[in-house]
Amino acid sequence: MTAAGAATAALAPTLTACGGTTPGGSKKLKLIAADYGDKPANSSKKYWDDLANAFEKEHSGVKVDVEVYSWTEVDKKVADLVAAGKAPDIAQIGAYADFAAAGKLYSVDKMLSIPTQADFITGLVRAGEVHRVQYGLPFVASTRLLFYNKKLFAKAGVAKAPQTWGELQAAAVKLKAAGVKIPFGLPLGPEEAPAETFLWMLGAGGGYTDKNGAYTIASNENVDAFTWLRDELVGKDLVGGLDPARTNRQDVFDAFTRGEVGMLNGHPTLMQQAEGHGIEYEMAPLPGYKGLSTATMGVADWMMAFSQGGNRELAGKFLDFVYTKSNVLRFTGQYNLLPVTESASAAMQGDRAYEKLWQFLAGLQNAHFYPADKTSWAKISSMIKEKIGGTVRKGADPRAVLSEIDREATALEAAK
């Protein structure tokens, strides 16, 4: 349910903004948000409408205008409005860095109260910074675990979840021998290739960047990860005959809910989908190259406040309201996502109603995130979606593909 890509801000002159003062003298706030629902009955529109109404009751004369769009269109919608000089006061979308670099956003310290700022999980604050100034407000987050089908594991004689890639391959071999259609689901198609890519990089001790933030896409560890996938998983026909480059995340999620997949890497929303189809599953920490992966991948979606309308004070008050513990828990609980504040995380950890999310929550404090602070990331993410699946095809050269992406990333950073 997280954004697949990043919005690209156009550098247009400031014109008329959406927010501001209405003819009647009341203050108006414009919010555009992404829809986390998969049908009208669970659309995020109801959440935002209820939240806006509650805020209006506490602030006489204020009107909050809410528009909710699907993930396939929300980033472009906001970018187009910014380009036309009609930016919303607040947007909840997939990325913020381009807008921050273009000078379009208020910094967080100019808007939020100190208690709200202090409540964010530290790692997520860092992920929202550009040149050490926070512009991106994390909205929701997720981490990943290994999901496996209990009945298929029992049928294949696999006694426990794998902890290493070698054990993962051995389990996949048994699942294949037992007639399981897709022993391991490997989605390197365009829907969410950067996430699946990141998981395997981290499992090998690599990643997109080093500790100083420099791109390391073609590191030996990353090359080793995709060489292993090419030779030991895809090359041994353990992905169900599918072409990972054309296989999207939702493809394998749907196959898992049909009982066709032995195991796959999944985020919290897969729980609800699997349970809705009567699939008996378990979750386990992600296996790594030589042992359980010591690094967890986190994905965050973002909120930001645009400065075009000059609505800094009202936007700040509304965002303080958005990030109250009860409001954060209401949204994350509805969609099986992780809260981004310490207070809501502590409440979730202390409530057995959220027990299934505890494993995901445990990895969030030390999770590694996309380099979303880089304006180059939008283009690099698109390159990964286009090219990374080719690394695991027969005869492919993972180092060549990763080096091509790395060169482009380095060049984009040098050109800033």
Q: What is the DSSP string of 42-84?
A: G-HHHHHHHHHHHHHHHSTTEEEEEEEE-TTTHHHHHHHHHHT
Residue 14 has pLDDT above 50, yes or no: no
Residue spans per domain, the chain: 20-141+299-367, 145-295+376-414
Helix (H, G, I), strand (E, B) or coil at 252: helix
Share of the chain above pLDDT 90, in %: 79
Q: Is the pLDDT of residue 10 over 50?
A: no
pLDDT for residue 131:
87
Q: How far apart are CA 285 and CA 263, in angstroms?
A: 12
b/e string for 355-374 if b means 16 or more Cβ within 10 A?
eebeebbebbeebbbbbbbb
Residue partners of 248: CB distance under 8 A and separation at least 6: 187, 189, 190, 191, 192
What pLDDT, in 10s, does the model give residues 138-196?
Answer: 999 999 999 999 999 999 999 999 999 999 999 999 999 999 999 999 999 988 899 99
The pLDDT tens digits of the residues spanning 367-406 come to: 899 998 888 988 899 899 999 999 999 999 999 999 999 9
CA dist 281 and 152 (Å) reads: 9
Rounded-to-integer distance, Cα 362 and Cα 359, Å: 5
Q: Do domains 20-141+299-367 and 145-295+376-414 have the same CATH topology?
A: yes
Mean pLDDT across 271-294: 94
pLDDT of residue 5: 32
Instruction: Write the pLDDT tens digit of every residue in 214-232.
Output: 999 999 999 999 999 999 9
Q: What is the mean pLDDT of residues 254-275?
A: 95
Helices (H), 178-295: 193-203, 220-228, 249-257, 269-276
Distance CA 21, CA 2 (A): 33
Q: What confidence tier does 37 reach under pLDDT thresholds 50, 70, 90? A: confident
- What CATH code would you report for 145-295+376-414? 3.40.190.10
- Angle between helices 325-335 and 312-322 in degrees, nearest 10: 60
For the chain, what is the largest distance between any 2 Cα atoms, rounded to a whole number of angstroms?
A: 72
Q: What mean pLDDT value characterizes the chain?
A: 91
* pLDDT reported for residue 184: 98
Please name the amino acid found at residue 172: A
Average pLDDT of the segment spanning 267-276: 91
User: At 24, is the pLDDT very low, low, confident or very high (cuts 50, 70, 90)?
Assistant: very low
Rounded (to 5) percent helix, strand, coil in the chain: 45, 20, 35
Average pLDDT over residues 311-336: 96
Mean pLDDT of 283-299: 91
DSSP H helices in 277-341: 312-322, 325-335
The answer to whether domain 20-141+299-367 has CATH 3.40.50.170 is no
Residue 339 CB partners (closer than 8 Å, separation 6+): 140, 141, 328, 329, 332, 345, 348
**Structural tokens at position 341:** 């504040």
Q: How far apart are CA 179 and CA 161, in angstroms?
A: 19
* Amino acid occupying residue 132: R
Predicted local confidence at residue 4, as pLDDT: 34
Q: Which of 138, 145, 74 is nearest to 300 (CA)?
A: 138
Whether the predicted pLDDT of 251 surpasses 60:
yes
Q: How far is CA 38 from CA 35, 55, 125, 143, in A?
A: 8, 26, 29, 20
Secondary structure of residue 336 in the 3-state scheme: coil
Report the relative pairing of strands 90-93 and 27-34 from DSSP bridges: parallel
Give just the sign of the alpha carbon dihedral 77, 82, 84, 85: positive
Q: Where are the alpha helices (DSSP H) in 59-190?
A: 74-83, 97-101, 114-119, 122-127, 150-156, 165-177
Helix H or strand E segment including 401? helix 398-414
- Residue 206, SS3 per DSSP: coil
Residues 72 and 84: their CA atoms lie apart, in Å, by 20
Kindly tell me if the per-residue pLDDT of 363 is higher than 70. Answer: yes
